[in-house]
């Protein structure tokens, strides 16, 4: 299993739940930890899951919500 961290401009649990819903639909994702205060999301997933694919899904939400999304370094 691999962990990928995203910086997401979440401001409330509603944002966190939206992110969990989006990433939860990706086949191969086994766990999603959101931290609204730190504005981070850590996704545990199989090696077959593309970081870019998850990022693109979050960016669609980002455009609709006006929240920032980036792959953490």
Q: Which of the residues in the chain have pLDDT under 50?
A: none
67 by DSSP, 3-state: which?
A: coil
SS3 assignment, position 56: helix
Q: What is the pLDDT of residue 33?
A: 98
Compute the residue count for the chain: 73
- Is the pTM value of this prediction over 0.85? yes
Which pLDDT value is given to residue 4?
A: 97
3-state secondary structure 3-55: EEEEEECCCCHHHHHHHHHHHHCCCCEEEEEEECCCCEEEEEECCCCCHHHHH
Which structural domain, as residue segments, surrounds residue 23? 2-71
- Report how many domains make up the chain: 1
**Can you give the CATH number for the domain in which 16 is found?**
3.30.70.100
Please state, rounded to an integer, the average pLDDT across all residues of the chain: 96
């Amino acid at each position: 299993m691999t962990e990928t961290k995203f910086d997401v401009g979440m401001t409330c649990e509603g944002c966190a739940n939206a992110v969990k819903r989006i990433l939860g639909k990706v086949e191969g994702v086994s766990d999603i930890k959101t931290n609204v205060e730190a504005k981070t999301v850590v996704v545990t997933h199989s090696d077959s899951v593309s970081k870019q694919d998850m990022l693109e899904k979050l960016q669609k939400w980002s455009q609709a919500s006006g929240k920032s999304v980036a792959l953490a370094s």
